[in-house]
């Protein structure tokens, strides 16, 4: 009996879907061999531990290979037989069991380039345009008309797109299995009483759970062969958060000054029911209404800040909010919406404020009242954010989708804006999407004479904007107040800065034979060392979404790098790899990955050679990860299976051997609170490989970096994942590099300044070496006294004899004073009298 997935799946793909037509071609994510994963694990730790620590880790790995490891490997293979990806549920659970606020901790952001259309340079036209383009994307996705992703003809997994719209992350009532501990003995006693009775029903056992107080009355679940395990599965499902997808969603929610509004935008066939002009009119009405509310009332009614709370607190407040039927309906409107559009009432004044606004909102107090944009958000859904000056971006809930899925969406809606501009100039120009205006739309043209009349819809389409009114009593108002103050604390603790480096980009890097991503990764490493004199080893955590060559990276504590590469060549592939290409205690004279080489007195050629060697290792690791040859998720899956076994024993301790059937509930994450309380049950300890300090070292990120670039994006970023670390999003453009870095109480601006200095220094060294290797030979004077170039043999200036031309050098020329020489006719060239005036200077190569 398998538990339901932690993330609702959208199964109703069109039967002749072009979008999902090649899903069946995707292979399953392979499970690496246990020996290879353990070998890679040891290699990744080699440079992060001293000899004694590494010896202990090696001993723990050897014990695992001789002990429980092979058995758990077989368990994992059995578990994965009916799953497209053996890691997917574990990975989702690690996100959904996260109890900290999602803002700054989980949700990334994109900043789009400005819209080139003059009419869309202000807020509301830009917002209306983005909504229309988004509806076109949704129509094509749901109709199966969206072109599938592919790399060099290889199909990529499109499964994540089904979780992009109409999706909501909601906190559940029980966020820890510790709340079940007091009733464990009661369950056992009641079960032993009923064990002899073969006629006991599942409903009876579920009622038992209700009586004991650990099952909500509304709980629905799939019953299996073992009722007791059904109850345990429900317990597993009621922890942390859950993700729900609403595939029939057809409305949007608009946020302005913390106030919620909504209106329908699609019919039942996913065709838009509003034109861009009509959407603009709705947005104008919303702005007019929301801006009438006094500042102090805005702060008291900003329900959205509750989504920034600790998930346990948010769960409790959401339950209190839902106790009122009207509030429950309002929450349903938000949860079911396609996405949320946040219309901010301020404009960022600089890059840092721009990044802050899209990451966590801005902090601004007036008379002690929060008036910043931080109260104008709902972080449990996909958000399109538009500032007062028209700058726009996306903040997205990260559980069901990764950055490259949202990147495709962002790039497509930006491109559609460009194509609509072209169409306004040339009506025959194509558009990216194929969403016809709904026949139920007011602006739909009536059919021609003899055509079929539009049938009356069997459902209500309400395109008028409506404001959500909340019933807020003291408990909820206090919750809003303290949620805002805690969010304000988080914002004040976080420093987000940006660098738009325009010295060079992808073109310059590739012209010198480097992988752009590897080159920039080495820059982060060197900048960190230049600021802290600390070596960050090149180890990776490759997040594989089947096929993309772009990568997402994170640097780990103790000199560890966490590297994620999107690989979507496999079905539902989420596969990270951690690997160190060299030990930090090795010689640094020729290994650039220890930044000491760059900051030492080594010759420029040595620095570049070490950089090239490190980049080549980086590229090799990326290719390995694209083939799922990594150890990180493999070992994590084994860890989760073992945790599940021990948690089952903790809940069923005392049951007879014949009732110990396998529990297929979702596993807990390494941060599970039950895991920390395992001593109460005297359960067997985890293998030493998972309790060894090396395991913790590889699970604490110092630098978390991600490359998610596209010409449609200006900036991309996210919050730090460790209190003493940086979160770095970067975009490598043809002629520049955009970097957004965030940290808590660290020198973020100084880190970016150090990075900029490094990039300039490397450019100088590369140009210097290139020029010295390609320097022209010294000119020479021939026997006639003409100064000539040593390569071409041509005169360098006009001194000496006058330049002569061979017949073959002459271009056709005709003049009134032509010599009349027929053979030279058409081949002689008259030179202006000033041709030899001045000195020829060499052209700069850069």
Distance CA 799, CA 782 (A): 12
Phi-psi region of 481 (alpha: psi -120 to 50; beta: other; left: phi over 0): alpha
Query: What would the two tokens of residue 557 be?
Result: 């504590």
Distance CA 157, CA 163 (A): 13
- Could you give the angle at which helices 604-626 and 516-532 cross, rounded to 10 degrees? 120
Residue 788 pairs in a beta bridge with 780, 795
Q: Comparing C-alpha atoms, which of 166, 133, 709 is closest to residue 400?
A: 166
CA dihedral 13, 18, 20, 26 (to 10 degrees): 160
Residue 340 pairs in a beta bridge with 253, 383
Query: What would the two tokens of residue 598 be?
Result: 């760059």
**Sign of the alpha-carbon torsion through 767, 769, 775, 778:** positive
DSSP secondary structure string for all residues of 592-611: TTSTHHHHSS--HHHHHHHH
DSSP secondary structure string for all residues of 121-166: SSHHHHHHHHHHHHHHHHHHHHTT-SPPPEETTEE---GGGGGSSS
Alpha carbon of 537 to those of 336, 348, 438, 572: distances in Å? 44, 36, 56, 30
Catalytic residue among 251, 398, 579, 618: 398
Query: Hey, is 216 helix, strand or coil?
Result: coil
Strands (E), 296-355: 340-343
Distance CA 531, CA 816 (A): 73
- H or E element, residue 366: strand 365-366
DSSP secondary structure string for all residues of 54-90: HHHHHHHHHHHHHTHHHHHHHHHHHHGGG-S-SSHHH
Give catalytic status of residue 398 as yes or no: yes
Distance CA 524, CA 520 (A): 6
Is residue 92 within 8 Å of residue 6, measured between CB atoms? yes
Q: Comparing C-alpha atoms, which of 567, 658, 563, 574 is closest to residue 617?
A: 563
Q: Which residues are catalytic?
A: 398
């Amino acid at each position: 009996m398998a538990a339901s997935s932690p993330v609702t799946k959208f199964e109703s793909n069109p039967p002749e879907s072009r979008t999902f037509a090649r899903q069946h071609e995707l292979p399953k994510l392979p499970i690496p061999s246990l020996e290879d994963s353990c070998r890679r694990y040891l290699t990744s730790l080699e440079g992060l531990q001293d000899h004694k620590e590494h010896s202990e880790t090696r001993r723990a790995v050897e014990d695992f290979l001789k002990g429980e490891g092979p058995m758990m490997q077989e368990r994992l293979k059995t578990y994965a037989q009916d799953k497209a990806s053996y890691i997917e549920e574990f990975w989702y659970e690690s996100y959904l069991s996260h109890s900290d606020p999602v803002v700054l901790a989980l949700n990334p952001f994109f900043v789009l380039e400005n819209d080139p259309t003059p009419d869309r340079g202000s807020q509301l036209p830009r917002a209306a345009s983005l909504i229309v383009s988004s509806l076109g994307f949704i129509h094509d996705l749901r109709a199966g008309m969206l072109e599938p992703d592919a790399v060099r003809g290889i199909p990529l997994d499109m499964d994540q797109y089904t979780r992009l719209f109409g999706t909501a992350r909601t906190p559940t009532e029980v966020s820890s299995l510790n709340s079940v501990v007091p009733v464990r003995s009661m369950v056992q006693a009641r079960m032993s009483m009923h064990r002899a009775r073969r006629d006991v029903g599942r409903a009876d056992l579920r009622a038992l759970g209700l009586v004991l107080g650990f099952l909500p009355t509304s709980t629905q679940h799939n019953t299996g062969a073992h009722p007791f395990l059904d109850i345990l599965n429900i317990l597993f499902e009621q922890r942390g958060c859950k993700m729900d997808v609403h595939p029939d969603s057809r409305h949007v929610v608009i946020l302005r000054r913390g106030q919620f509004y909504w209106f329908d935008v699609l019919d039942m066939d996913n065709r838009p029911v509003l034109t861009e002009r009509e959407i603009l009119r709705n947005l104008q009405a919303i702005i007019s209404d929301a801006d009438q509310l006094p500042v102090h009332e805005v702060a008291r009614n900003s329900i959205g800040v509750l989504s920034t709370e600790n998930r346990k607190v948010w769960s409790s407040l959401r339950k209190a909010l839902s106790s009122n039927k009207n509030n429950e309906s309002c929450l349903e409107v938000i949860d079911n919406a396609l996405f949320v559009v946040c219309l901010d009432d301020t404009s960022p004044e600089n890059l840092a404020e721009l990044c802050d606004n899209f990451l966590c909102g801005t902090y601004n107090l007036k008379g002690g009242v929060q008036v910043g944009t931080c109260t104008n958000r709902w972080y449990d859904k996909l958000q399109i954010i538009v500032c007062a000056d028209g700058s726009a971006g996306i903040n997205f809930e990260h559980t069901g989708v990764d950055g490259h899925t949202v990147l495709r969406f962002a790039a497509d809606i930006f491109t559609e804006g460009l194509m609509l501009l072209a169409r306004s100039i040339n009506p025959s120009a194509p558009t990216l999407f194929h969403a016809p205006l709904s026949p139920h739309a007011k602006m739909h043209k009536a059919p021609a004479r003899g055509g079929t009349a539009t049938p009356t819809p069997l459902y209500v389409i309400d395109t008028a904007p409506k404001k959500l009114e909340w019933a807020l009593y003291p408990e909820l108002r206090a919750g809003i107040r303290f949620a805002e103050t805690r969010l304000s604390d988080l914002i004040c603790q976080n420093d987000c800065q940006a660098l738009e480096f325009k010295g060079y980009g992808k073109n310059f890097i590739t012209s010198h034979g480097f992988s752009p991503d590897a080159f920039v990764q080495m820059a982060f490493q060197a900048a960190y060392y230049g600021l802290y004199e600390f070596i960050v080893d090149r180890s990776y955590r490759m997040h594989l979404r089947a096929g993309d060559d772009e990568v997402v990276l994170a640097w780990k504590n103790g000199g560890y790098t966490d590297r994620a590469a999107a690989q979507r060549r496999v079905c539902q592939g989420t596969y990270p790899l951690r690997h160190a290409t060299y030990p930090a205690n090795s010689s640094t004279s020729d290994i650039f990955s220890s930044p000491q080489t760059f900051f030492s007195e080594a010759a420029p050629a040595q620095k570049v050679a070490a950089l090239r060697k490190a980049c080549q290792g980086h590229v090799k690791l990326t290719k390995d990860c694209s083939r799922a040859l990594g150890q990180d998720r493999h070992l994590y899956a084994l860890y989760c299976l073992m945790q599940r076994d021990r948690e089952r024993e903790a809940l069923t301790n005392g049951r007879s051997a014949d009732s110990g059937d396998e529990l297929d509930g979702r596993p807990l994450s390494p941060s599970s609170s039950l895991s920390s309380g395992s001593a109460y049950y005297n359960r067997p300890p985890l293998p030493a490989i998972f309790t060894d300090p090396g395991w913790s070292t590889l699970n604490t990120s110092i630098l978390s970096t991600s490359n998610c670039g596209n010409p449609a994006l200006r900036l991309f970023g996210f919050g730090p994942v460790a209190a003493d670390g940086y979160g770095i999003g970067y975009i490598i453009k043809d002629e520049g590099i955009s970097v957004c870095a965030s940290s808590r109480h660290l020198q973020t601006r100084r880190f970016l300044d150090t990075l900029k200095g490094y990039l300039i220094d490397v450019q100088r060294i590369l140009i210097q070496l290139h020029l010295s290797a390609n320097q022209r030979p010294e000119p020479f004077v021939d026997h006639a006294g003409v100064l000539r170039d040593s390569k071409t043999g041509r005169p360098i200036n006009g001194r000496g004899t006058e330049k002569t031309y061979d017949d073959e050098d002459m271009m056709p020329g005709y003049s009134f004073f032509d010599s009349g020489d027929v053979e030279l006719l058409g081949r002689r060239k008259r030179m202006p009298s000033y041709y030899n005036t001045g000195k020829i200077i060499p052209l700069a190569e850069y």
